[in-house]
Every structure is written in structure tokens, then in C-alpha cells.
Amino acid sequence: MGARGIELLEHGIADLCANPKLVREDLILLARLARQVDAVFATVVGEFDRSGGWALDGRKSMAGWLESQAAMTPSEAQRTVRRAKFAEACPVTRARWASGAIATEKLDRIAALRHAAKDDAAFTLFEPSLLGVAMHGTIVDLATAAHRWRDALEADRQTDDTKPNHQIEREHLFVSETFGGMGVLRGEFTPENREQIETALDREMDRLHIAGDSRTVSQLRAEALASIMRQYNSQAINAATNQPHISIHIDEPTWTGTAVGHCETARGMSLSRDTVARVACNAEISIITHAGDRIPLSMHRAQRTFTKHQRRALEHRDTCCRYPGCARPVTATEAHHVEWWELGGETNLENAAMLCYFHHRLVHEGKWTIKIDADATIKWFKPDGSYYATSYPRPPTTPLPIK
Ligand SMILES: [Zn+2]
Ligand SMILES: [Zn+2]
């Protein structure tokens, strides 16, 4: 592509920006063109890389050059260089990509697979069938095919007694963040560890199971994993470390509830003040308040959690989640301070209700309110203040006379 091609592309894009009204067919065509531009870009990057032109700008590599001169992120630059290398080495797949027939993300998967397998001769044999999957299957199909091939390759390479070592080397777990602070876990485990993990998840899903739950298995599994981690963290605190489970950094006006501002965990995950209040019900947390310039003003333990004995008494009294009609067993509940400790609520039975995770959220983040009577009868009110229903504790038993 010469300078004339760039010029035409610039005109074309300017024209599209000025008249962005496209019909259905135009959108499909534009999506294909975007892929084709990716492919052209990779070719040009490959040529520039081979020419060594990046060194003239004082860079150590092509990827470094793309970062500094083309405003790319490090991972984007790495990916681009890998695409370029792949495109040069595998012209058949490249041709399909350049025609717009396969998505750039699929190309990246294929390139990453070739790079990781480190067996170019074997890859060349596998390439046609992988390309078929890339063209006619989904990205999940492609990942499955890639996985199978790597397993087969691995089995071929290793004698039986060395195989487990390679599996251990492959083990990993990525923890990353996506929109709105949601977390993504992605990893690989040896068959033995996978068995441990799946057994624990199945057990926890069984324990949390309630009849008529319409959530998907993956939703239930996510809940079970978080539940296992919460249990682990609450045990860890008893192990004499006296470390809080979670530290919260919060600015003064947000903390006192007069404004909504900076409120996040030590790892930088944003939380609402309502979420902080809910977490504080059941876990030791440290609150570090900040002035506007983020200089810590003070630090303190936010909540007194219930003692083991108080919790036993509550479990006996409440028998299950105290939301009217919720049958979650008490072993899967959290002790909620009806009046938040920070606002003067006591850490005693008269100020406590056992709630499952879902209904605990309903009270804090969902703004439902509950009122507890001296006999532990709990009245529930909707966010608009209207009465919803009443929940009763285990009925008292009268001692029978023995004489
Ligand atoms: Zn609570
Ligand atoms: Zn519940």
C-alpha cells in the first residue's frame, strides 16, 4: 500500500464521519473492511520490523516503537507484532484474514497458539483444519480445537512419567478487571487440582441450593466460589494474624454520608458506601478516611463482628434466612446489624438478623428496611417505605414439668 492508499482511506473515513448514516449492508461491509485494514496494518508492520526502521527512533524493538510512536498500549503493540510475524509465516491463514473472512480476534487466537506450541512443523500440518474451524465455527469452537491439539501435542512430546511436570508448569490463574469493577478469572489446572476445585464447588452449590432457583449453573458456581472464599477469609482472621479481611479507602464526605465520592478497596476496586456497610456487617474491615487530596486522615476498625457464641445463638433463633419465605439454611447466611454499628447499633442479638447473601444485598444496596421487635419478629419494608411482610423466629418452647 502506497501513500495514495492512505490518502484515499483518509478521505473515505472523513466522508463516513461526516455522513455516518449507514444501511444494514454497509455495516456488514464496514466490519469486513475493518478486518482487512488490520491485515494490511500487520503486513506493513512486518515489513517495517524487518527493515529495522524502529531502531532509528532509539527503540529496542518494533513493539516499543509502536508504543511510543503509534500510541499503542504494550499489549496491543505485542499483539500487533505477533500478528505480523504470524502473517508472514502462515500465508494461507493470512490470505483468509486479509479477505475479511475471519475475525482479527480469531487470528490472534491462532497466532497465540502457534507461538505457545513452539512446534512450527506440527502447526503447519494442523493449520488447514484450524482455519476451517476459524471460518465456520465460533471463537469457543476455535479455543476447543486449539486446546485439543495442544493436549495431543503435549501427550506426544512427553513420556508418561514426565507429563505431570508439564501440566504443573501449565497451571496458572489470571485475575483481571472488566467493566464496572467486575472481575474475570481465567486459568488452567492439573486434573488433580481441577478435581479438588470442582468437588468443592459442587459441595458448596449443594449446600446453598434452594428449591425453585432459576439461575444458571454458571451463576450458581460463581456464587459458590465467592462463598468458599468468604469462609476462608473469615477463618484466616481467627488464625491470630488480626489482619482485617478488607481495607476500605474512603473520603470524609462519602464516609459521613453527605456526598458520594471516592470509596475503594486497597486494590483500587470501587465500592458503594452501601456495599461497604454490608461487608462490614460480617467481616472485619479497616476504614481509612481521606481528605480530598487522598492523604489519610484516620484509620479504624469499622465494625464489631458477632462472636462465635452470638452467632450460634442467632443460628438457633433464626433457623434460616429471615427474609419472609426464603429457605436458605442458616449455615449459608450472614449476620446483619439491623442498625449499622457505625450509626450506634449494638452488636447483640436484639440488633441482629441472619440473612442470605442475596437478601443481605437487598437490605443494603437494595434499600429495603427491616425492623426487629424484642421477640425477634422482623417486619420488612420496601424501598418506598411500604410494609411488605413479617418474618418470625423459631417459636419458644415451654419447659414441661417433670413432677
Ligand atoms: Zn448488613
Ligand atoms: Zn434469603
The pLDDT value recorded for residue 241 is 44
pLDDT, one tens digit per residue, over 160-183 is: 445 556 677 788 998 887 777 788
CA of 335 to the centre of ligand 1 (A): 7
CA of 239 to the centre of ligand 1 (A): 24
Sorted by sequence, the CB contacts under 8 Å of residue 36 that are 6+ apart come out as 98, 99, 100
Average pLDDT of the residues in 239-263: 71
The CA distance from 136 to 150, in Å, is 21
CA of 375 to the centre of ligand 1 (A): 20
**Which one of the ligands is nearest to 360 CA?**
1
CB of 277 within 8 A of CB of 294?
Answer: no
CB of 274 within 8 A of CB of 364?
Answer: yes
The pLDDT value recorded for residue 242 is 47
Over the chain, what is the mean pLDDT?
A: 84
Q: Is the pLDDT of residue 222 over 80?
A: yes
pLDDT, one tens digit per residue, over 277-324 is: 888 787 777 777 777 666 666 666 555 678 778 888 998 999 899 999
The CA distance from 308 to 223, in Å, is 24
For the packed helices 24-51 and 74-89, what is the interaxial angle rounded to 10 degrees?
80
pTM of the model: 0.48
**Which one of the ligands is nearest to 380 CA?**
2
**Based on the number of CB atoms within 10 Å of its own CB, is 93 exposed (0-12), middle (13-18) or buried (19 or more)?**
buried
- Strand ranges of the sheet holding 263-265, from the earlier edge strand across to the other edge: 263-265, 246-251, 285-290, 296-301
The CA distance from 303 to 284, in Å, is 6
Amino acid identity, position 44: V
pLDDT, one tens digit per residue, over 211-220 is: 788 888 899 9
Q: Is the pLDDT of residue 240 over 50?
A: no
Average pLDDT of the residues in 20-43: 89
Q: If pLDDT is split at 50, 70 and 90, which confidence band does 244 have? A: low
Average pLDDT of the residues in 319-337: 87
